[in-house]
Amino acid sequence: EKDVLILAIESSCDETAAAVVKNGREVLSNVIYSQIDLHTLYGGVVPEIASRKHIEKINQVVRKALADASCTLDDITAVAVTYGPGLVGALLVGVAEAKAIAFAANKPLIGVHHIEGHISANYIENKELEPPFLCLVVSGGHSHLVRVKDYGEYEILGKTRDDAAGEAFDKVARAIGLGYPGGPKIDRVSNEGNPEAIIFPRAKIADNVYDFSFSGLKSAVLNYLNGCQMKGIDINQADVAASFQKAVVDVLVEHSMDAVKRYHVDKFAIAGGVASNSHLRAALESACSKQGVKFFRPSPILCTDNAAMIGAAGYYEYLKGVRHGWDLNAVPNLKL
């Protein structure tokens, strides 16, 4: 059997990324240009700035991905690209790049769903992982509890009704003066705080136990901060961060373990930027071990946005025969 080499491109948010992945599981190169410093000034991602930077960087990033993998376009089997969901202007840059390369080099073009990419990051370091399994996808834009029935076959058990988990991290971090991006900062500062210092609410949703809601928690933190300010009390940044994070982690772990029991799965995986949170990883690791369930988590660099995960997902789409035409477009609200 001939090796399948996928050149993958990802530009859905504020990372310009390209990678070469062999047979879905082996990363030959993984180039990520992060725009974070550019957006920090504004306290969040500015879509117009993101698109412009993607245009500036994408060719360099793709060239470096090919060079790092010691290959040329001739060696590539197919080109895979994230076509949604994400920021439309940002997505368009990657899609246009992928189409141009695939057309010029006469290679098949494969559009990949961003969330499918995040989930597939788990295949890279865990060669033995195969569906079926459950996956908690928690990122800046998404909080999904997904049943992976087979490669490319998903059932969404629950999702957020309002803010995504990462969005809540970013908003709370900004409110307590930690700045953007908030997730990694809350993760770090929490190590010095007491997670039991403040009891924040854990939202329950009546009609679907697997759905999430984080906006109430975010409001509770903001109310707490306002209350302290009115009373002239200094806040303890580390205690607020640790208590907020504990509330998020508790809900994510509880929902996940409910689903593990209900669906009798023996494998549980996590994905997305928030999956790099050290406290969440530790809590899920111990919850899974109590349930006798094998726990999978990508390295932090494969949790946040990257193109290697798109190459892994693209490989399985390629095997299924998925090919997109030159009319492939960015779909900002693409459904899984």
Q: How far is the CB of 140 from ligand KG4 (least distance, A)?
A: 3
Report whether 177 belongs to an annotated binding site: no
Contacted entry of Zn ion, ligand KG4, none for residue 298, CB cut-off 5 to 8 Å set by kind: none
CB neighbour burial string for 155-192, b if at least 16 within 10 angstroms, e if fewer:
eebbbbeebbbbbbbbbbbbbbebebbbbbbbbebbee
Report whether 324 belongs to an annotated binding site: no
CA atoms of 73 and 79, how far apart (whole Å): 10
Report whether 216 belongs to an annotated binding site: no
Contacted entry of ligand KG4, Zn ion, none for residue 274, CB cut-off 5 to 8 Å set by kind: ligand KG4
Report whether 139 belongs to an annotated binding site: yes
Report whether 239 belongs to an annotated binding site: no
In the complex with ligand KG4, which residue's Cβ is closer, 84 or 184?
184
Q: How far is the CB of 10 from ligand KG4 (least distance, A)?
A: 10
Positions that interact with ligand KG4 (CB under 6 A): 13, 139-141, 166, 169-170, 181-184, 187, 272-274, 276-277, 304-305
CA atoms of 195 and 314, how far apart (whole Å): 40
Report whether 138 belongs to an annotated binding site: yes
Positions that interact with Zn ion (CB under 5 A): 139, 305
- Number of residues written out for the chain: 336
CB 156 within 8 A of CB 173: no
Q: For the sheet with 26-34, list strands across it.
A: 26-34, 15-22, 5-10, 78-84, 109-113
Contacted entry of Zn ion, ligand KG4, none for residue 14, CB cut-off 5 to 8 Å set by kind: none
Q: How far is the CB of 109 from Zn ion (least distance, A)?
A: 21
**Could you tell me which residues come within 8 angstroms of residue 123 by beta carbon, excluding any fewer than 6 positions away?**
24, 25, 129, 312
Q: How far is the CB of 180 from ligand KG4 (least distance, A)?
A: 8
23: left (phi over 0), alpha (psi -120 to 50) or beta: left
In the complex with ligand KG4, which residue's Cβ is closer, 181 or 193?
181
Residue 108 has, within 13 A of its CA and on its CB side, a CA count of: 18
Q: How far is the CB of 19 from ligand KG4 (least distance, A)?
A: 15
In the complex with ligand KG4, which residue's Cβ is closer, 94 or 273?
273
**Could you tell me which residues come within 8 angstroms of residue 321 by beta carbon, excluding any fewer than 6 positions away?**
none
Strands 153-159 and 143-150 come out as antiparallel
**Could you tell me which residues come within 8 angstroms of residue 236 by beta carbon, excluding any fewer than 6 positions away?**
193, 197
Contacted entry of ligand KG4, Zn ion, none for residue 85, CB cut-off 5 to 8 Å set by kind: none
Chain center to CA of 235: 31
Q: How far is the CB of 188 from ligand KG4 (least distance, A)?
A: 8
Report whether 187 belongs to an annotated binding site: yes
In the complex with ligand KG4, which residue's Cβ is closer, 107 or 255?
255
Q: How far is the CB of 230 from ligand KG4 (least distance, A)?
A: 29
Contacted entry of Zn ion, ligand KG4, none for residue 304, CB cut-off 5 to 8 Å set by kind: ligand KG4
The three-class DSSP label of residue 215 is helix
Contacted entry of ligand KG4, Zn ion, none for residue 152, CB cut-off 5 to 8 Å set by kind: none
Among the listed residues 61, 49, 233, 256, the one whose alpha carbon sits nearest the alpha carbon of residue 144: 256
**Where are the alpha helices (H) located in 194-322, listed in sequence order?**
215-231, 237-262, 278-291, 300-303, 308-319
Contacted entry of Zn ion, ligand KG4, none for residue 166, CB cut-off 5 to 8 Å set by kind: ligand KG4
Report whether 75 belongs to an annotated binding site: no
Report whether 232 belongs to an annotated binding site: no
- Residues annotated within the binding site for Fe cation are 114, 118, 305
Q: Which residues are annotated as a binding site for substrate?
A: 137-141, 170, 183, 187, 277
